[in-house]
Structure 1
Amino acid sequence: MIVKEIVRGTAEHEYSCLPAFSYMIDALNVGTTYSIMVNKVDCRFMYYFLSLGLCIKGFAYMRKAIAVDDTHLYDKYEGVLLSTVAQDTENHIYPIAFCVVDKENNASWTFFFEKLKSIVVDGPDLCFISDRHKSIANGIAKAYNHAHQGYCMRNLGKNLWVNHHCGEHFYLFYNAAKAYSPEEFSDYFVEFKNYCPEAFFFLEHELGFKKLSRAYFPGNKFDVMTTNIVESVNVILIDERKYPVASIFN
């Protein structure tokens, strides 16, 4: 597929109304970064990434534990909204960037993380919390060499509940995932293994303790153990998700 990217300062109005809209945002919010990707053959919209100048500036004071998630747009426009959110030291939710894409796949998530990298700098102190969608892991791996990725504890819990039927002993998994020390983690997980051996095998051998636990995670998750903070932003936008792209960002 032949594509053309329109970045801040070089937008071409023939592709969509988004460039003019983006110029307006940039004028009102200095330092804003945006990027538009269109199909060069038929000028069809593909991706639109946006991070407001104030969000970029303020991220320097946020915890470097970032939640990443997607939510589907609906009605006639369709598409997917990708979002990334952080927290300050008082646990206030802080949006960093948004991206509307045609579909959730390797190409769209890679585009998102490559653009995000100019705002959220790679480093061993940075970690992403997400669900287990392979395209998210692939996008992070391509754009970030030193950051760490952890899995959403609630998303994993839902998987265990539905696929491994360990609801009665579900609390042991949560306690283990939230444990601060390997010793505390082991105490809960040994008990969990006794009741749910199949679920334990899945967590240990298919996922690995580094992805799901605080005790073995190589970075600092702080209190970000789930993607709840970014899902809260998705809920705020529930009505806007049926609007045209320019209206969503407005």
Structure 2
Amino acid sequence: MPGSVAVLKMSPVRLGGQINEKQAYFHHIFWTFPPCIEAFQHCKPLVSVDGTHLYGKYGGTLLITIAQDGNSNIIPVAFVLVEIISDRHNGIKAALQAPDGGWLPPNAYMAFCIRHVMANFALSFKGKDARRFLVNAAYAKTEVEFD
């Protein structure tokens, strides 16, 4: 698609401590499309990232960045395919906490995904009432609703 952005990163293959110039392996690819870029300008100032592990011949992790427009429609913003990633990876934490990275308040805030919090909560608390209270508190828009 004309105007699409794609960045492919390959890493050199090392054999016996030396770089083999004739071979490279996939490291990651990032891509987005013009309609996604245009729509992002009209979205709420909140970006979410989620991913799924790919299984089969090639593996890796597919990540997607999404935002919401004024009508709460979900807009895909960008995609990336990486070898492997974990939300507990120290590199992610370091990047978010870097003073010059732009990911600190007041420019950016970190939050937890209620679906993942709920899944972990359900491992310890089996009652449906407790799970319902957690979800209601998480989706509360005011302190009164939260209480």
Place the TM-score, normalised by the shorter chain, in its bin: 0.7 to 0.9
Which residue number in structure 2 is paired with residue 80 of structure 1? 61
| 1:123-181 deviation per Cα after TM superposition (whole angstroms, max 9, x unaligned) | xxxxxxxxxx2238524434423311111112211111112434332222122222233
Q: RMSD over aligned Cα, in angstroms?
A: 2.1
Partners of 1:137 and 1:178 in 2: CA distance: 26
Gaps of 5+ in 1: 1-27, 106-132, 188-250
The percentage of aligned residue pairs carrying the same residue is 28
| 1:54-82 deviation per Cα after TM superposition (whole angstroms, max 9, x unaligned) | 21122101112222111112221111101
| 1:27-56 deviation per Cα after TM superposition (whole angstroms, max 9, x unaligned) | x322x3222111123410110011112211
Partners of 1:84 and 1:180 in 2: CA distance: 23
Partners of 1:79 and 1:51 in 2: CA distance: 19
Which residue number in structure 1 is paired with residue 72 of structure 2? 91
Which residue number in structure 1 is paired with residue 7 of structure 2? 35
Provide closer, same or farther for how the CA distance between residues 171 and 137 of structure 1 changes in structure 2, counting only shifts above 3 A: farther
- 1:56-135 matches, within 5 Å, as 56-105=37-86, 133-135=87-89
Which residue number in structure 2 is paired with residue 182 of structure 1? 143
Which residue number in structure 1 is paired with residue 108 of structure 2? 147
So what's the TM-score if we normalise by structure 2? Answer: 0.76
Provide closer, same or farther for how the CA distance between residues 60 and 46 of structure 1 changes in structure 2, counting only shifts above 3 A: same
Aligned pairs, number: 131
Gaps of 5+ in 2: 14-22
Provide closer, same or farther for how the CA distance between residues 77 and 158 of structure 1 changes in structure 2, counting only shifts above 3 A: same
Contact 2:125 2:131 in 1 (8 A): no
Select the structure with the greater relative contact order (CA < 8 A; seq sep ≥ 6). Answer: 1
Contact 1:160 1:166 in 2 (8 A): no
Partners of 1:104 and 1:137 in 2: CA distance: 9
Match of 2:129 among 159, 164, 168: 168
Residue identity matched to 1:104: I
Contact 1:36 1:47 in 2 (8 A): yes
Partners of 2:113 and 2:77 in 1: CA distance: 19
Contact 1:84 1:97 in 2 (8 A): yes
Structure richer in helix, relative to its length: 1
Residue identity matched to 1:37: K
Residue identity matched to 1:178: Y
Partners of 1:166 and 1:67 in 2: CA distance: 29
